[in-house]
């Protein structure tokens, strides 16, 4: 089983999404954050199940899509590292 590691930046991204959505609904914000985190659970068993990030083209940099959010992760030797979470309307690095 592959270990999933969340970077500080990715955790901060989820917290920012949660804070933004909480302006409208605290309940939905908490549920959304929980589901974003749960969306990467499958990576423990299937680390290559996400698609390669199209604007990068690096096989080790992949993403899982949850709703309107892109969860970008890097495949490493013994783990996957969640790098960032951001709205799907944006391009990586934009």
- 32-87 tens-digit pLDDT: 999 999 999 999 999 999 999 988 888 999 999 999 999 999 999 899 999 999 98
The number of distinct structural domains making up the chain is 1
Domain contains 48: yes
Q: Which pLDDT band, with edges at 50, 70 and 90, does 6 fall under?
A: very high
Domain contains 93: no
pTM of the shown model: 0.90
Distances (CA, A) of 40 to 25, 45, 65, 75, 81: 24, 10, 9, 13, 10
> What is the DSSP annotation of 30-77?
HHHHHHHHHTTGGGGT-TT-SEE-TTT--TTEEEEEETTEEEEEEE-S
Domain contains 92: no
């Amino acid at each position: 089983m592959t270990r999933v590691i969340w970077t500080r930046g990715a955790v901060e991204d989820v917290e920012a999404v949660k804070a933004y959505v909480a302006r409208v609904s605290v309940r939905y914000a908490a549920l959304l954050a929980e589901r974003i985190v749960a969306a990467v659970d499958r990576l423990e068993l299937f680390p290559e199940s996400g698609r390669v990030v199209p604007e990068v083209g690096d096989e080790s940099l992949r993403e899982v899509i949850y709703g309107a959010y892109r969860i970008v992760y890097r495949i490493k030797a013994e783990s996957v590292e969640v790098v960032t979470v951001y709205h799907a309307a944006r391009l990586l690095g934009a």
